[in-house]
């Protein structure tokens, strides 16, 4: 049998060794991931964004307006016959072009129909749609509510971030943007492959009560490859992924 002093010394050393081991183990992200996966906690790990403060994860909606003075550095992402030259955040240009090239290799020609919009442009579009509803006989209040289902108020639109883009097939450049477009070959391709390039279907059919926006099979948002794949695998919207469903 060990003498009491020896036993105390042995226990003290063991605790010290264990502490040092776990300290270094949990410093590494890979260690945390492996720890979670080995104990069946992979879903818990995978649900979390690696860095919620990333520029690509900025959240804007009716309750989360963009910071005052927000102005992304823009780069051209092509032009189209309907809306002319389109721009996005310069950091998104390369992954968007890679995605379009991959689609073309699969026989799908994609077009960035509408991308970045300034606050002024968003104001014009919002007011124009609202006036159309008023002309149809709606009251000011009814027209405002109906417009918000399809267009965010200025200052709360994803298009103002430079990270969102309305994508359609070339043949649908002038088509009405309606939910039935989800059946088009280009829409199917995007749902299957967009996350590989960092893009997510932003306004999902079964998440309208959370996003506050109707289902838009053409509206894609850049969040980065890792987060896009996590979001898509879980079937959640950006608000849920970030834990901001207020």
User: Among 191, 193, 169, which Cα is nearest to 98's?
Assistant: 193
What gap in Å lies between CA 202 and CA 180, rounded to an integer? Answer: 16
User: What distances in angstroms separate CA 20 from CA 16, 24, 143, one per listed residue?
Assistant: 6, 6, 63
Q: How many CA atoms lie within 13 A of 192 on its CB side?
A: 11
As given in the structure block, the two tokens for residue 62 are 């009716």
- Look up tokens 């410093």; give the residue: 27
What gap in Å lies between CA 121 and CA 132, rounded to an integer? Answer: 17
- Which residues, 6+ apart, have CB-to-CB distance to 186 below 8 Å? 103, 108, 109, 110, 167, 168, 169, 172
192 flagged as catalytic: no
Q: How many CA atoms lie within 13 A of 31 on its CB side?
A: 8
Among the options 158, 160, 216, 239, which is catalytic? 216
Helix, strand, coil percent values for the chain (each to nearest 5): 50, 15, 35
Residues annotated as catalytic are 216
């Amino acid at each position: 049998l060990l003498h009491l002093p020896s036993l105390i010394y042995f226990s003290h050393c063991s605790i010290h060794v264990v502490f040092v081991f776990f300290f270094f183990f949990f410093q590494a992200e890979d260690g945390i991931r492996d720890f979670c996966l080995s104990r069946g906690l992979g879903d818990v790990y995978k649900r979390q964004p690696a860095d919620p403060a990333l520029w690509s994860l900025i959240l804007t909606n009716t309750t989360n307006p963009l910071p005052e003075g927000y102005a992304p550095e823009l780069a051209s992402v092509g032009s189209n016959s309907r809306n002319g030259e389109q721009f996005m955040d310069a950091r998104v240009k390369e992954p968007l072009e890679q995605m379009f090239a991959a689609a073309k290799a699969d026989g799908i020609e994609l077009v960035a129909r509408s991308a970045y919009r300034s606050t002024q442009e968003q104001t014009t579009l919002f007011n124009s749609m609202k006036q159309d509803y008023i002309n149809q006989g709606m009251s000011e209040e009814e027209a405002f509510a109906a417009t918000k289902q399809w267009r965010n108020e200025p200052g709360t639109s994803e298009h103002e971030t430079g990270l969102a883009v309305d994508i359609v097939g070339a043949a649908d450049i002038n088509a009405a943007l309606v939910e039935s477009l989800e059946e088009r070959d280009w829409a199917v391709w995007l749902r299957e492959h967009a996350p590989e390039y960092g893009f997510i279907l932003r306004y999902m059919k079964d998440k309208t009560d959370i996003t506050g926006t109707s289902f838009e099979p053409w509206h894609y948002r850049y969040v980065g490859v890792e987060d896009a794949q996590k979001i898509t695998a879980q079937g959640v919207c950006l608000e849920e992924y970030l834990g901001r469903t207020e």
